[in-house]
Amino acid sequence: MLVYIAPKNIFGDFPLENESIIEVENLTKTFNDFVAVDDISFDVKKGEILGLLGPNGAGKSTTLRMLSTLARPTKGTATIGGYDVVKNDTNVRKLIGIVSEKMIMYNRLTARENLRFFGSLFNIPKDVLAKRIEELLELVQLTKWKDSQVGTFSTGMRQRMNVIRALLNLPQVLFLDEPTMGLDPQSSVEIREFIKKLNRENKTTIIITTHMMVDADLLCDRIGIMDHGKIVALDTSTNLKKLISGVGTTILNLEMANLTSELVETVRALKCADSVTQENSTHLKILVHGDEAFDSVIDAIRAKNGKIDSMENLQPTLEDVFLHLTGHQVRDTADQKMPMATHRRFGAPQGRTR
């Protein structure tokens, strides 16, 4: 597991708490008749981790592209550090770092050569850049491999390189687009630990786009659930789950070999059952409330000669919240990419836009 050991805070003074560094008002992006981002408004406090959670096509990456000055809003405004992302785009770029879904690294260059190349794009003095590269490599425990070609790195090592590439200009705000996409479980844990440590130790403000529930739940101070270009809910993970849970509400997962429509209707008729979903021929998912709900469900099923093979008592998840708010599961949504005619190219290959 990656252990974060920073020799010092290389990102400067800590920002003031509870002060908004990002402010978004009525931000909209359309491509011909397709509305990718639909009139969204939110703010992000300095030092906060905000997650934008939703399926491909929800508008998450398009929102990041507008905030990072790579795409112009159709209407609405957004400011970062007080600078308008359209009118003051040069000033905005000095404050931000971007980690796209696609890893932007040159395989034939070493770790140090890659960072030296990308650092030169910021016109950082050579002596300052050399020192910063050493500090960033130490930050992610890659000093040992600084003279090795990036093409020989594991996926997790390459993603760590991808992240520190975006830290070369010491950004106050870091945008992470699907940071654990395609990573194995161990690499995903390493990247999540690094993101948390970066935020905790250096107070870096971070916006993460993801469709991975675990990333949003473990990393984010607040989560905005996006669907069809809109933010349909924005709150802490705990408060979002209360949208469907409330006090004393849980989810029961039942496996029954003799599950029948009569048994399903019997459970639906119970006062303690808020919703009942038959997910397949043997699996019943029940959202219940009240201290006696567990016993009531068991008694009702047994009274109809139902045979329960297994039963789980679960708390609502973010996926349950998403299903409740949007009516469909996150992974069931088709990918809707930006029309190719509207793509902009910015040197090195960029990640997909959704």
pLDDT in tens, 31-51: 999 999 999 999 999 999 999
Architecture of domain 245-315: 2-Layer Sandwich (3.30)
Q: Which residues pair with 279 in a beta bridge?
A: none
Highest mean pLDDT among 3-12, 15-24, 28-37, 292-301: 28-37
Would you say 319 and 54 are in contact if contact means Cβ atoms under 8 Å apart? no
**pLDDT tens-digit series, residues 107-125:** 999 999 999 999 999 889 9
Q: Is-above-0.75 flag for pTM?
A: no
Q: CATH 3.30.70.980 occupies which residues in the chain?
A: 245-315
Handedness of CA 294, 299, 301, 307 (dihedral sign): positive
Share of the chain above pLDDT 90, in %: 51
Is the pLDDT reported for residue 351 higher than 50? no
**pLDDT tens-digit series, residues 251-276:** 888 999 899 999 999 999 999 888 88
Is the pLDDT reported for residue 99 higher than 50? yes
Q: CATH 3.40.50.300 occupies which residues in the chain?
A: 20-236
Using pLDDT thresholds of 50, 70 and 90, give the confidence band for residue 354: very low
State how far the Cα of 212 lies from the Cα of 2, in Å rounded to an integer.
Answer: 20
| Angle, CA of 349, 352 and 354, to the nearest 5° | 155
Would you say 30 and 36 are in contact if contact means Cβ atoms under 8 Å apart? yes
Question: Which helix or strand (DSSP H or E) is residue 14 part of?
Answer: none
| Domain 20-236 class in CATH | alpha beta
20 closest CA partner among 66, 108, 81: 81
**pLDDT tens-digit series, residues 201-216:** 888 999 999 888 889 9
State the average pLDDT over residues 159-179: 92
- The predicted pLDDT at position 222 comes to 96
Compute and round to an integer the Cα radius of gyration of the chain: 23
